[in-house]
Chain A
Amino acid sequence: QKEVEQNSGPLSVPEGAIASLNCTYSDRGSQSFFWYRQYSGKSPELIMSIYSNGDKEDGRFTAQLNKASQYVSLLIRDSQPSDSATYLCAVERGGATNKLIFGTGTLLAVQP
């Protein structure tokens, strides 16, 4: 079992729809969770961080965390073609270290 798992996609949604991206992790000691967006040929760009159970909203983005189920999700409302990218889920390893463990990413394609 991978430490951080994401569906590789592609996830295709029409413009204006809600895109839902999911991530599960295996280390119950993890405390910090991040979503990065990565355009093709570019480096990862931090878009959301979440540390507590529940929802965290920032503009069109909502991150959801459920530590009991070891599940993190990202919702993108009113999806735009410019949102088309790979979305990487990253989990901070629990314990003394603060390295990030990344999933392989989900490719999102927003169709105009």
Chain B
Amino acid sequence: GAGVSQTPSNKVTEKGKYVELRCDPISGHTALYWYRQSLGQGPEFLIYFQGTGAADDSGLPNDRFFAVRPEGSVSTLKIQRTERGDSAVYLCASSRDTTYEQYFGPGTRLTVT
């Protein structure tokens, strides 16, 4: 079946602009996670949703970052007033339940110039 999909695959934006990154989880997966990966590092947790609600947003670095999942399926990660330090690969993962394995999408490479 179809895996996790993310759009866009690449995003280049200027410092100070607003960006939205989209994630479409595996069909039937109730849990959705966002991670961020910088070069040479492992993925770093940002936020996870169980259904429509953000069950844990402790990894969001500051209030410029926000994520929604209004219908319990597709999620959007929103970054306001982007900074060059936000440049990274943003990964989305989903799992059938919070106790199951997490499967990653292809990621969105964000570059802030």
Contact with A along B86-113 (1 / 0, CB 8 A): 0001010000001101111111000000
Q: How many chain B residues have a CB neighbour from A under 8 Å?
A: 25
B40 contacts the other chain (CB 8 A): yes
Contact of A42 among B33, B41, B43, B106 (CB under 8 A): B106
Contact of B45 among A36, A100, A103 (CB under 8 A): A100
Closest to B97 in A: A98
Contact with B along A27-66 (1 / 0, CB 8 A): 0000010101000001111100100000000000000000
Instruction: Find chain A residues with CB under 8 A from B45 CB.
Output: 99-101
A-B contact pairs, 16 of them (CB 8 A): A34-B102, A36-B104, A43-B89, A44-B43, A46-B101, A46-B102, A49-B101, A97-B56, A98-B31, A98-B48, A99-B58, A100-B43, A100-B102, A102-B44, A103-B42, A104-B41
Interface residues of A (CB under 8 A from B): 4, 32, 34, 36, 42-46, 49, 88, 90, 97-105
